[in-house]
Amino acid sequence: MSFAESLADRWRVQLQNDYPNHSQTTHESIIQWLLGQNSAELDNLTPTEQSAFEQGVSFRYRVLQQRYLDISPEQAYRNLMKRLGGLVILRQKIRAWVATSRDRQRNVIDVLQEVIQEMLNSDRYLQQQLQWIAECTTDSRLRNSLLLTSLEEYCLRPIRNQPLLVYRFVNYLRRSQRGGLTQVPTGEWVRQVSEEIISDETEERVSLLEEQALTQHEETQYLEEQQLQRLTVQTEFETYLRERVDPVAAEWLQLYLKGESQEAIAKLLNLPIKQVYRLREKVSYHAVRNFALKHAPELVDGWLGTSLSEHRLGLTPSQWEEYWESLNPMQRQLIADLKAGQTLEAIAKNLKLKTTQVLSEWTKLYLNAQAIRNR
Protein backbone atom coordinates (compact mmCIF):
# COMPACT_ATOMS: atom_id res chain seq x y z
CA MET A 1 0.00 0.00 0.00
CA SER A 2 1.36 3.41 -0.97
CA PHE A 3 1.80 6.24 1.53
CA ALA A 4 -1.13 8.15 -0.02
CA GLU A 5 -3.40 5.10 0.19
CA SER A 6 -2.42 4.45 3.80
CA LEU A 7 -3.06 8.09 4.66
CA ALA A 8 -6.43 8.05 2.90
CA ASP A 9 -7.51 4.95 4.85
CA ARG A 10 -6.62 6.59 8.15
CA TRP A 11 -8.63 9.68 7.28
CA ARG A 12 -11.64 7.58 6.26
CA VAL A 13 -11.70 6.15 9.77
CA GLN A 14 -11.22 9.62 11.28
CA LEU A 15 -14.04 11.18 9.24
CA GLN A 16 -16.37 8.27 9.97
CA ASN A 17 -15.77 8.78 13.69
CA ASP A 18 -16.11 12.57 13.55
CA TYR A 19 -18.97 12.83 11.03
CA PRO A 20 -20.91 9.54 10.85
CA ASN A 21 -23.93 11.36 9.38
CA HIS A 22 -22.03 12.62 6.36
CA SER A 23 -22.18 10.66 3.14
CA GLN A 24 -19.24 8.61 1.90
CA THR A 25 -19.03 10.97 -1.07
CA THR A 26 -18.45 13.92 1.28
CA HIS A 27 -15.78 11.96 3.16
CA GLU A 28 -13.98 11.10 -0.07
CA SER A 29 -14.15 14.69 -1.30
CA ILE A 30 -12.55 15.96 1.90
CA ILE A 31 -9.84 13.27 1.75
CA GLN A 32 -9.09 14.11 -1.89
CA TRP A 33 -8.77 17.80 -0.98
CA LEU A 34 -6.61 17.08 2.07
CA LEU A 35 -4.12 14.95 0.13
CA GLY A 36 -3.80 17.54 -2.64
CA GLN A 37 -3.32 17.45 -6.37
CA ASN A 38 0.02 15.61 -6.27
CA SER A 39 -0.92 12.71 -4.01
CA ALA A 40 0.62 10.24 -6.48
CA GLU A 41 4.05 11.74 -5.78
CA LEU A 42 3.87 11.43 -1.99
CA ASP A 43 5.80 8.15 -2.04
CA ASN A 44 8.82 10.07 -3.34
CA LEU A 45 9.02 12.07 -0.11
CA THR A 46 11.56 11.20 2.57
CA PRO A 47 10.24 9.94 5.93
CA THR A 48 10.86 13.40 7.44
CA GLU A 49 8.96 15.08 4.59
CA GLN A 50 6.10 12.58 4.90
CA SER A 51 5.84 13.33 8.60
CA ALA A 52 5.74 17.08 7.89
CA PHE A 53 3.07 16.48 5.23
CA GLU A 54 0.93 14.53 7.70
CA GLN A 55 1.20 17.37 10.21
CA GLY A 56 0.11 19.82 7.51
CA VAL A 57 -2.90 17.68 6.62
CA SER A 58 -3.89 17.45 10.30
CA PHE A 59 -3.61 21.22 10.66
CA ARG A 60 -5.84 21.88 7.64
CA TYR A 61 -8.40 19.40 8.93
CA ARG A 62 -8.50 21.05 12.36
CA VAL A 63 -9.06 24.45 10.75
CA LEU A 64 -11.85 23.01 8.58
CA GLN A 65 -13.42 21.27 11.56
CA GLN A 66 -13.21 24.17 14.02
CA ARG A 67 -14.48 27.05 11.87
CA TYR A 68 -15.97 26.06 8.53
CA LEU A 69 -17.45 22.57 8.16
CA ASP A 70 -21.21 22.22 8.81
CA ILE A 71 -21.52 25.98 9.39
CA SER A 72 -23.66 28.35 7.34
CA PRO A 73 -21.70 30.22 4.62
CA GLU A 74 -22.41 33.57 6.28
CA GLN A 75 -21.14 32.45 9.70
CA ALA A 76 -18.15 30.66 8.14
CA TYR A 77 -17.17 33.86 6.34
CA ARG A 78 -17.47 35.83 9.58
CA ASN A 79 -15.24 33.24 11.26
CA LEU A 80 -12.58 33.81 8.58
CA MET A 81 -12.72 37.59 8.95
CA LYS A 82 -12.54 37.30 12.73
CA ARG A 83 -9.56 34.95 12.53
CA LEU A 84 -7.60 37.09 10.05
CA GLY A 85 -8.71 40.38 11.61
CA GLY A 86 -7.36 39.12 14.92
CA LEU A 87 -3.76 39.22 13.65
CA VAL A 88 -2.25 41.94 15.82
CA ILE A 89 0.41 43.15 13.39
CA LEU A 90 -2.00 43.22 10.43
CA ARG A 91 -4.65 45.08 12.41
CA GLN A 92 -2.07 47.65 13.48
CA LYS A 93 -0.80 48.11 9.93
CA ILE A 94 -4.31 48.62 8.55
CA ARG A 95 -5.22 51.09 11.29
CA ALA A 96 -1.99 53.03 10.76
CA TRP A 97 -2.68 53.23 7.02
CA VAL A 98 -6.33 54.26 7.49
CA ALA A 99 -5.22 56.96 9.95
CA THR A 100 -3.01 58.52 7.26
CA SER A 101 -5.31 57.97 4.26
CA ARG A 102 -8.04 60.17 2.85
CA ASP A 103 -10.83 57.77 3.74
CA ARG A 104 -10.69 57.50 7.53
CA GLN A 105 -14.16 55.99 7.84
CA ARG A 106 -13.00 52.54 6.79
CA ASN A 107 -12.36 49.86 9.37
CA VAL A 108 -10.11 46.80 9.53
CA ILE A 109 -12.72 44.38 8.16
CA ASP A 110 -13.54 46.64 5.19
CA VAL A 111 -9.91 46.77 4.11
CA LEU A 112 -9.36 43.08 4.87
CA GLN A 113 -12.27 42.10 2.64
CA GLU A 114 -10.80 44.07 -0.25
CA VAL A 115 -7.39 42.45 0.19
CA ILE A 116 -8.92 38.95 0.29
CA GLN A 117 -11.02 39.64 -2.82
CA GLU A 118 -7.96 40.87 -4.68
CA MET A 119 -6.06 37.74 -3.67
CA LEU A 120 -8.87 35.53 -4.97
CA ASN A 121 -8.85 37.41 -8.26
CA SER A 122 -5.10 37.49 -8.87
CA ASP A 123 -3.16 35.07 -6.65
CA ARG A 124 -1.98 32.10 -8.70
CA TYR A 125 -1.96 29.65 -5.78
CA LEU A 126 -5.51 30.51 -4.77
CA GLN A 127 -6.64 30.22 -8.40
CA GLN A 128 -5.20 26.69 -8.44
CA GLN A 129 -6.95 25.90 -5.16
CA LEU A 130 -10.28 27.10 -6.54
CA GLN A 131 -9.85 24.80 -9.53
CA TRP A 132 -8.75 21.87 -7.34
CA ILE A 133 -11.70 22.27 -4.95
CA ALA A 134 -14.05 22.29 -7.95
CA GLU A 135 -12.55 18.95 -9.00
CA CYS A 136 -12.95 17.49 -5.49
CA THR A 137 -16.68 18.19 -5.04
CA THR A 138 -19.77 19.59 -6.72
CA ASP A 139 -21.40 20.39 -3.38
CA SER A 140 -21.48 24.21 -3.22
CA ARG A 141 -21.61 24.30 0.59
CA LEU A 142 -18.64 21.97 0.95
CA ARG A 143 -16.75 23.95 -1.71
CA ASN A 144 -17.28 27.08 0.35
CA SER A 145 -15.97 25.38 3.51
CA LEU A 146 -12.87 24.05 1.73
CA LEU A 147 -12.15 27.41 0.12
CA LEU A 148 -12.35 29.34 3.40
CA THR A 149 -10.06 26.78 5.04
CA SER A 150 -7.56 27.11 2.19
CA LEU A 151 -7.72 30.90 2.51
CA GLU A 152 -7.01 30.86 6.24
CA GLU A 153 -4.17 28.36 5.94
CA TYR A 154 -2.57 30.30 3.07
CA CYS A 155 -2.95 33.74 4.67
CA LEU A 156 -1.35 32.58 7.93
CA ARG A 157 1.71 30.97 6.37
CA PRO A 158 4.77 32.45 8.12
CA ILE A 159 7.07 34.46 5.85
CA ARG A 160 10.06 36.10 7.57
CA ASN A 161 8.31 35.87 10.93
CA GLN A 162 5.10 37.48 9.66
CA PRO A 163 1.89 36.01 8.19
CA LEU A 164 1.82 36.01 4.39
CA LEU A 165 -1.34 38.15 4.53
CA VAL A 166 0.73 41.07 5.88
CA TYR A 167 2.78 41.09 2.66
CA ARG A 168 -0.34 40.80 0.53
CA PHE A 169 -1.68 43.86 2.32
CA VAL A 170 1.47 45.81 1.40
CA ASN A 171 1.05 44.70 -2.24
CA TYR A 172 -2.56 45.84 -2.11
CA LEU A 173 -1.50 49.28 -0.86
CA ARG A 174 0.99 49.69 -3.66
CA ARG A 175 -1.49 48.72 -6.35
CA SER A 176 -4.37 50.75 -4.92
CA GLN A 177 -2.29 53.91 -4.60
CA ARG A 178 -0.60 53.74 -7.98
CA GLY A 179 -2.28 53.65 -11.34
CA GLY A 180 -2.07 54.67 -14.94
CA LEU A 181 0.68 54.05 -17.47
CA THR A 182 4.24 53.31 -16.49
CA GLN A 183 6.15 56.61 -16.37
CA VAL A 184 9.46 56.64 -18.26
CA PRO A 185 11.94 59.14 -16.73
CA THR A 186 12.55 62.04 -19.11
CA GLY A 187 16.08 62.92 -20.13
CA GLU A 188 17.34 59.36 -19.66
CA TRP A 189 18.11 56.65 -22.17
CA VAL A 190 16.00 53.54 -21.94
CA ARG A 191 18.45 50.68 -22.25
CA GLN A 192 17.32 47.64 -24.17
CA VAL A 193 18.86 44.30 -23.21
CA SER A 194 18.25 40.80 -24.39
CA GLU A 195 15.41 39.38 -22.35
CA GLU A 196 17.06 35.98 -22.15
CA ILE A 197 20.58 34.57 -21.97
CA ILE A 198 21.64 30.93 -22.13
CA SER A 199 23.69 29.53 -19.26
CA ASP A 200 26.93 27.88 -20.45
CA GLU A 201 26.61 25.04 -17.95
CA THR A 202 22.94 24.08 -18.19
CA GLU A 203 21.83 25.59 -21.52
CA GLU A 204 18.68 26.65 -19.69
CA ARG A 205 17.23 30.04 -20.53
CA VAL A 206 17.49 32.61 -17.77
CA SER A 207 15.41 35.75 -17.91
CA LEU A 208 17.53 38.78 -17.06
CA LEU A 209 14.59 41.14 -16.96
CA GLU A 210 12.65 38.79 -14.70
CA GLU A 211 15.52 38.47 -12.21
CA GLN A 212 16.20 42.20 -12.17
CA ALA A 213 12.53 43.04 -11.79
CA LEU A 214 12.14 40.48 -9.00
CA THR A 215 15.16 41.84 -7.10
CA GLN A 216 13.97 45.41 -7.50
CA HIS A 217 10.45 44.43 -6.45
CA GLU A 218 11.70 42.66 -3.31
CA GLU A 219 13.90 45.61 -2.33
CA THR A 220 11.08 48.09 -2.87
CA GLN A 221 8.64 45.88 -0.98
CA TYR A 222 11.07 45.51 1.93
CA LEU A 223 11.53 49.30 2.20
CA GLU A 224 7.77 49.86 2.07
CA GLU A 225 7.23 47.23 4.74
CA GLN A 226 9.88 48.86 6.95
CA GLN A 227 8.26 52.27 6.48
CA LEU A 228 4.83 50.93 7.34
CA GLN A 229 6.17 49.02 10.34
CA ARG A 230 7.95 52.13 11.62
CA LEU A 231 4.77 54.18 11.29
CA THR A 232 2.78 51.46 13.06
CA VAL A 233 5.25 51.26 15.96
CA GLN A 234 5.32 55.06 16.27
CA THR A 235 1.52 55.34 16.27
CA GLU A 236 1.10 52.55 18.82
CA PHE A 237 3.83 53.93 21.09
CA GLU A 238 2.36 57.45 20.97
CA THR A 239 -1.03 56.03 21.95
CA TYR A 240 0.60 54.02 24.75
CA LEU A 241 2.37 57.12 26.13
CA ARG A 242 -0.75 59.28 25.88
CA GLU A 243 -3.01 56.76 27.63
CA ARG A 244 -0.68 55.11 30.13
CA VAL A 245 2.15 57.55 30.88
CA ASP A 246 1.58 61.24 30.15
CA PRO A 247 0.08 63.09 27.14
CA VAL A 248 3.07 65.45 27.25
CA ALA A 249 5.37 62.43 26.79
CA ALA A 250 3.59 61.66 23.51
CA GLU A 251 4.11 65.26 22.39
CA TRP A 252 7.80 65.00 23.31
CA LEU A 253 8.10 61.85 21.18
CA GLN A 254 6.50 63.52 18.14
CA LEU A 255 8.89 66.49 18.36
CA TYR A 256 11.90 64.26 19.01
CA LEU A 257 11.14 62.14 15.93
CA LYS A 258 10.99 65.34 13.87
CA GLY A 259 14.62 65.98 14.85
CA GLU A 260 14.05 68.75 17.39
CA SER A 261 16.73 69.27 20.08
CA GLN A 262 15.87 69.09 23.78
CA GLU A 263 16.22 72.86 24.04
CA ALA A 264 13.83 73.40 21.10
CA ILE A 265 11.35 70.92 22.60
CA ALA A 266 11.46 72.79 25.92
CA LYS A 267 10.53 76.04 24.15
CA LEU A 268 7.78 74.45 22.03
CA LEU A 269 6.22 72.73 25.06
CA ASN A 270 6.88 75.70 27.34
CA LEU A 271 8.61 73.49 29.92
CA PRO A 272 11.81 73.81 31.98
CA ILE A 273 14.73 72.04 30.32
CA LYS A 274 15.16 69.73 33.33
CA GLN A 275 11.58 68.51 32.94
CA VAL A 276 12.20 67.82 29.26
CA TYR A 277 15.23 65.69 30.09
CA ARG A 278 13.14 63.81 32.66
CA LEU A 279 10.54 63.24 29.93
CA ARG A 280 13.25 61.78 27.69
CA GLU A 281 14.32 59.37 30.44
CA LYS A 282 10.71 58.40 31.11
CA VAL A 283 9.99 57.72 27.42
CA SER A 284 13.21 55.70 27.05
CA TYR A 285 12.35 53.63 30.13
CA HIS A 286 8.84 52.82 28.92
CA ALA A 287 10.01 52.18 25.35
CA VAL A 288 12.32 49.34 26.41
CA ARG A 289 10.94 47.97 29.67
CA ASN A 290 7.21 48.21 29.08
CA PHE A 291 6.21 48.83 25.46
CA ALA A 292 8.79 46.57 23.79
CA LEU A 293 8.68 43.83 26.42
CA LYS A 294 5.08 43.76 27.64
CA HIS A 295 2.73 45.88 25.55
CA ALA A 296 3.70 45.13 21.92
CA PRO A 297 6.72 42.78 21.81
CA GLU A 298 5.74 41.11 18.50
CA LEU A 299 5.29 44.47 16.80
CA VAL A 300 8.61 45.94 17.98
CA ASP A 301 10.63 42.75 17.47
CA GLY A 302 9.22 42.31 13.97
CA TRP A 303 10.18 45.87 13.06
CA LEU A 304 13.68 45.76 14.57
CA GLY A 305 14.39 42.14 13.59
CA THR A 306 15.12 41.24 17.22
CA SER A 307 12.62 38.48 17.93
CA LEU A 308 13.85 35.58 20.02
CA SER A 309 12.42 32.79 17.86
CA GLU A 310 13.43 34.09 14.41
CA HIS A 311 16.33 36.51 14.95
CA ARG A 312 18.03 35.34 18.17
CA LEU A 313 17.34 38.76 19.73
CA GLY A 314 19.11 40.42 16.80
CA LEU A 315 22.50 38.93 17.75
CA THR A 316 25.05 37.62 15.25
CA PRO A 317 26.11 33.94 15.60
CA SER A 318 29.25 34.90 17.53
CA GLN A 319 27.34 37.34 19.75
CA TRP A 320 24.68 34.69 20.41
CA GLU A 321 27.36 32.17 21.40
CA GLU A 322 28.86 34.71 23.81
CA TYR A 323 25.41 35.54 25.16
CA TRP A 324 24.43 31.88 25.61
CA GLU A 325 27.68 31.07 27.45
CA SER A 326 26.91 33.83 29.97
CA LEU A 327 23.55 32.31 30.98
CA ASN A 328 22.97 30.04 33.94
CA PRO A 329 20.86 26.84 33.59
CA MET A 330 17.66 28.54 34.75
CA GLN A 331 18.11 31.39 32.27
CA ARG A 332 18.79 28.95 29.44
CA GLN A 333 15.60 27.07 30.32
CA LEU A 334 13.67 30.36 30.29
CA ILE A 335 15.06 31.24 26.83
CA ALA A 336 14.26 27.76 25.50
CA ASP A 337 10.68 27.90 26.83
CA LEU A 338 10.09 31.36 25.34
CA LYS A 339 11.43 30.19 21.95
CA ALA A 340 9.01 27.26 22.15
CA GLY A 341 6.12 29.75 22.47
CA GLN A 342 5.25 29.21 26.13
CA THR A 343 3.66 32.07 28.07
CA LEU A 344 5.34 33.70 31.05
CA GLU A 345 2.61 32.28 33.28
CA ALA A 346 3.28 28.71 32.10
CA ILE A 347 7.04 29.15 32.46
CA ALA A 348 6.61 30.53 35.98
CA LYS A 349 4.55 27.49 36.92
CA ASN A 350 7.14 25.08 35.49
CA LEU A 351 10.02 26.86 37.25
CA LYS A 352 7.98 27.24 40.45
CA LEU A 353 8.41 31.01 40.44
CA LYS A 354 6.10 34.00 40.46
CA THR A 355 5.18 35.49 37.08
CA THR A 356 6.69 38.80 38.15
CA GLN A 357 9.99 37.03 38.91
CA VAL A 358 10.05 35.44 35.45
CA LEU A 359 9.21 38.77 33.82
CA SER A 360 12.00 40.47 35.77
CA GLU A 361 14.47 37.80 34.69
CA TRP A 362 13.35 38.04 31.04
CA THR A 363 13.71 41.85 31.18
CA LYS A 364 17.27 41.46 32.40
CA LEU A 365 18.06 38.93 29.66
CA TYR A 366 16.51 41.17 27.00
CA LEU A 367 18.52 44.20 28.14
CA ASN A 368 21.74 42.16 28.30
CA ALA A 369 21.18 41.08 24.68
CA GLN A 370 20.52 44.69 23.72
CA ALA A 371 23.78 45.76 25.38
CA ILE A 372 25.72 43.14 23.39
CA ARG A 373 23.91 44.12 20.17
CA ASN A 374 24.69 47.81 20.61
CA ARG A 375 28.27 47.35 21.81
Kindly report the backbone phi and psi dihedral angles of residue 43, in degrees, each rounded to the nearest multiple of 5, phi listed first: -65, -20
Q: Is the pLDDT of residue 138 over 60?
A: yes
Q: How confident is the model at residue 292 (pLDDT cuts 50, 70, 90)?
A: low
In whole angstroms, what is the distance from residue 61 CA to residue 63 CA?
Answer: 5
Judge whether residue 103 has pLDDT over 70: no
Give pLDDT, residue 104. 62
The reported pLDDT for the residue numbered 64 is: 93
pLDDT given for residue 330 in this prediction = 87
Query: What pairing do the DSSP bridges indicate for beta strands 162-163 and 196-198?
Result: unpaired
Answer yes or no: is pLDDT of 186 > 60. no
- The pLDDT of 356-371, averaged and rounded, is 79
The answer on pLDDT for 308 being more than 90 is: no
Residue 187 has pLDDT above 50, yes or no: no
Closest C-alpha among 256, 253, 369, 364 to residue 307: 369
Give pLDDT, residue 136: 93
Helices 262-269 and 273-286 pack at an angle, to 10 degrees, of 110
Q: How confident is the model at residue 346, as a pLDDT?
A: 85
Name the more confident of 341 and 324.
324
CATH architecture group of domain 306-375: Orthogonal Bundle (1.10)
Q: What are phi and psi of 361, to 5 degrees?
A: -65, -40
pLDDT of 360 higher than 60: yes
Residue 46 has pLDDT above 80, yes or no: yes
Q: Which of 41-55, 131-145, 168-182, 198-212 has the highest mean pLDDT?
A: 131-145
Least confident of 6-10, 136-140, 277-281, 319-323: 319-323
Closest CA to 249 of 226, 265, 227, 230: 265
pLDDT at 282: 84
Give the model's pLDDT for residue 298: 57
Range from 64-68, 82-86, 224-228 carrying the lowest mean pLDDT: 224-228
pLDDT at residue 118 tops 90: no
Question: Can you tell me the mean pLDDT for 199-210?
Answer: 38
CB-based burial label for 40 (10 Å; 0-12, 13-18, 19+): exposed
Predicted local distance difference test score (pLDDT) of residue 199: 34
CB 215 within 8 A of CB 207: no
How far is 312 from 161, CA to CA, in rounded Å? 12
* Residue of higher predicted confidence among 317 and 18: 18
- pLDDT tens by residue, 214-270: 445 555 555 555 566 566 667 777 888 888 888 888 888 888 777 788 898 899 989
**Chain centroid, CA 14 distance in Å:** 32
Query: For residue 196, is pLDDT > 60?
Result: no
Residue 4 has pLDDT above 90, yes or no: no
Query: How does the average pLDDT of the chain come out, rounded?
Result: 76
What pLDDT shows up at residue 184? 35
Question: Average pLDDT of 96-102?
Answer: 70
* Amino acid sitting at position 31: I
Q: Where are the domains of the chain?
A: 3-174, 218-305, 306-375
Percent of the chain surpassing pLDDT 70: 74
Q: So what's the pLDDT on residue 181? A: 31
pLDDT at 38 over 90: no
pLDDT confidence tier of residue 289, bands split at 50, 70 and 90: low
Taking residues 21-36, what's their average pLDDT?
93
pLDDT for 324 equals 87
Question: What does the pLDDT average to over 20-40?
Answer: 91
* pLDDT-based confidence at residue 24 (cuts at 50, 70, 90): very high
